[in-house]
Amino acid sequence: MMRKLLSLTALLALLPLTALSQPKGWNDPFPPHKIMDNLYYVGTSQLSSFLITTPAGNILISSDYESSVPVIQAAVKELGFKFSDIKILISGHGHPDHVEGDGLVKELTGAQVVVGRLDAPYNKAFKTPSGRPLPIDRIVDDGDTVSLGGTTLTAHLLPGHTKGCLAWSLPLKENGRTYYGFIECSLNILGMKFVGNTDYPDIVKDFRDTHKKAAAFPAEVWVSSHGVFYGLDEKYAKLKANKPGDPNPFIDPEGYQAHVTDFQKRFEDALAKEQAAAKK
């Protein structure tokens, strides 16, 4: 399946935001929608958040910015669910555009906040614009599971974009078939330093190991931390235009493999340029 490559402009907008102000338009609402089974999109136009519903309460993945939380709240309500029914918040990877809202979500719902071990130091040190600390109720490692109401998600460590970037897999059912659902962390490399990175000396090895590991996942229904990575706009448009019997556009195993290959090449090209520049 052919997939649309991300433009340079789109990728530049996805630089790590540790020192950047919130990009304009990132909190614009996006239509909340069912992806498959009990997995729903409740994020903004540029920042992904996912709701997983269960009979025992719901799981939210990624709170985005503090200012994103009201947008996520409204999306959850529009789908017919209660924000207060969120029992678990799985924190996003250690950048403000994925974790800044954790404290506010905790205040509003009382949810248990789950954080990956290697990104936990970032969360502990981070302070939000409102001064809230980022809560950590449970630390998880590669292979650990988070379960609620009959749904189990498995954590997969894919370091590089951050040291503790965690993807999550879960089974998703539709029309009598079970699909391998995969919620990617991020393979984005723009704004990163690969040669002489004293803050992250293993970044090259981690990215190469991650690309190999990522390609091995049998991802069928996949999403990511930013909609632009998995073609959210195009897939949602197809979903809205679907007629009875049409395939779910989020079933896209070929697109997933193309995505991994694309970002692996971007990494190797960027690394080669840095290495060449360092020799001059």
Asked if residue 12 belongs to a domain, the reply is no
226's tokens: 């930013």
Find out whether 178 and 171 touch, Cβ atoms under 8 Å: yes
What local confidence, expressed as pLDDT, does residue 222 receive?
A: 98
124's tokens: 């502990």
Chain centroid to Cα 7, Å, comes to 19
Find out whether 13 and 23 touch, Cβ atoms under 8 Å: yes
- Number of other residues whose CB lies within 10 A of the CB of residue 66: 19
What local confidence, expressed as pLDDT, does residue 242 receive?
A: 96
Lowest mean pLDDT segment, chosen from 11-20, 138-147, 159-168? 11-20
CA distance from start to end of the chain: 41
Q: 190: domain CATH number?
A: 3.60.15.10
Find out whether 104 and 64 touch, Cβ atoms under 8 Å: no
What local confidence, expressed as pLDDT, does residue 21 receive?
A: 64
Asked if residue 142 belongs to a domain, the reply is yes
Dump pLDDT digits (tens) for 25-79.
Answer: 899 999 999 999 999 999 999 999 999 999 999 999 999 999 999 999 999 999 9
Any idea of the CA torsion for 193, 195, 196, 199, to the nearest 10 degrees?
40
What local confidence, expressed as pLDDT, does residue 4 receive?
A: 41
Domain that holds residue 32: 24-241+248-279
Dump pLDDT digits (tens) for 105-142.
Answer: 999 999 999 999 999 999 999 989 999 999 999 999 99
What local confidence, expressed as pLDDT, does residue 259 receive?
A: 98
Asked if residue 124 belongs to a domain, the reply is yes
Asked if residue 2 belongs to a domain, the reply is no
Dump pLDDT digits (tens) for 152-208.
Answer: 999 999 999 999 999 999 999 999 999 999 999 999 998 999 999 999 999 999 999
Q: d(Cα 35, Cα 41) in Å, to the nearest integer?
A: 7
Task: Give the pLDDT mean for 255-268.
Answer: 98
50, amino acid identity: F
Task: Give the pLDDT mean for 263-279.
Answer: 96
Find out whether 48 and 27 touch, Cβ atoms under 8 Å: no
Asked if residue 116 belongs to a domain, the reply is yes
197, amino acid identity: N
Residue 103, pLDDT > 50, answer: yes
Asked if residue 107 belongs to a domain, the reply is yes
Q: d(Cα 54, Cα 148) in Å, to the nearest integer?
A: 7
Task: Give the pLDDT mean for 147-151.
Answer: 98
Give the chain's domain count: 1
The pLDDT > 70 percentage for the chain reads 92
Asked if residue 224 belongs to a domain, the reply is yes
Specify the pTM.
0.92
What local confidence, expressed as pLDDT, does residue 22 receive?
A: 81
Asked if residue 63 belongs to a domain, the reply is yes
140 three-class SS: strand
